[in-house]
Amino acid sequence: MQGIHRALPVYLLMGVAAISVSAQQADDSQFKYGLAPQNVVESRLASYTRKNSEREPAVRRLFEEAGCMGDALTEQSVKGTKAPNLLCTLPGASDSTIIVGAHFDLVEAGSGVVDNWTGVALLSSLYQSLAITQRQHTYVFVAFSGEEAGLIGSTAFVKQLGDRRMRIKAMVNLDTLGLSDTKVWVTHADERLVGWLAGVAKVLNLPIAAVNVDNVGTTDSEPFRQKKIPAITVHSITPETLKILHSRADKIEAVHVDEYYRTYHLVAAYLALLDQKLE
């Protein structure tokens, strides 16, 4: 592993309202996104359940609370797991699609808050962040079933795409957030997707580092990569915190809420930027 997180300057919280930030690159494009307040993001984090069987309904409640409901919220049954994948769609002007994914199932040794309620609970807030304005791309927020049993939900999702996978321009996977500031699995990520994320972090002065987990495990971005869909996994694992996963130490007290909220902010801005950067 490399790129270990160092202490960073105190972060100034930005407003709840939509903000626009000038990209520093040659183009002067603007990207807009909203931010759910930190207390809302923290209460969504605290709404976890320890039972695998109750996780998917709990994610559904968060999506509905965030305004993703009715036809926008659909289940996809998955062979090999009881719980379905849960999909929240934010329609864009085109059917070119950006997938934002996180798994909801847990290893019951701990409470599964870190791995991966931190990721899946953020999907609803990210939906809100993007829904403030009309987007070019369609965004699909996918809560995956069966990750811990071998990427079952994400593999099934990719398989059912068939030729429609050509529409998927990027997959952003969130797995195990809030142990530290934002980390990226660079060796298993699309180069352009990493570059744009680093650019947004620089513009917003938010911390980011590379921590590769090649020898640690795998995650839901991999089935997408196998089908040549550009993908990136955002996490927060460091050599020091790795032991928390799949253990009794995986509990809400292990989550650093300020770091967690910074990751939310960064990913919200990033997803808004991808709408402009991707074809």
Which residue ranges make up the site for Zn ion (CB under 5 A)? 115
Q: What share of the chain is helix, strand, coil (3-state, %, to 5)?
A: 40, 15, 45
Closest CB 51 distance from Zn ion, rounded Å? 16
Q: Which CB sits closer to Zn ion, 115 or 259?
A: 115
Residue type, 233: T
Q: Which CB sits closer to Zn ion, 203 or 242?
A: 242
Q: Which CB sits closer to Zn ion, 56 or 115?
A: 115
Closest CB 144 distance from Zn ion, rounded Å? 12
Q: Which CB sits closer to Zn ion, 183 or 265?
A: 183
Residue type, 175: D
Residue 95 CB coordination number (10 Å): 10
Closest CB 62 distance from Zn ion, rounded Å? 20
Closest CB 225 distance from Zn ion, rounded Å? 18
**Which backbone phi and psi does 143 adopt, to 5 degrees?**
-90, 115
Q: Which CB sits closer to Zn ion, 4 or 109?
A: 109
Report whether the peptide linkage leading into residue 173 is cis, meaning its omega lies within 30 degrees of zero.
no
166, 97 in Cβ contact below 8 A? no
Residue type, 162: G
Residue number with the smallest Cβ distance to Zn ion: 115
228, 168 in Cβ contact below 8 A? no
Closest CA to 44 of 127, 131, 130: 127
Closest CB 114 distance from Zn ion, rounded Å? 9
Q: Dihedral sign, CA of 211, 215, 220, 222?
A: positive
Q: Which CB sits closer to Zn ion, 120 or 204?
A: 120
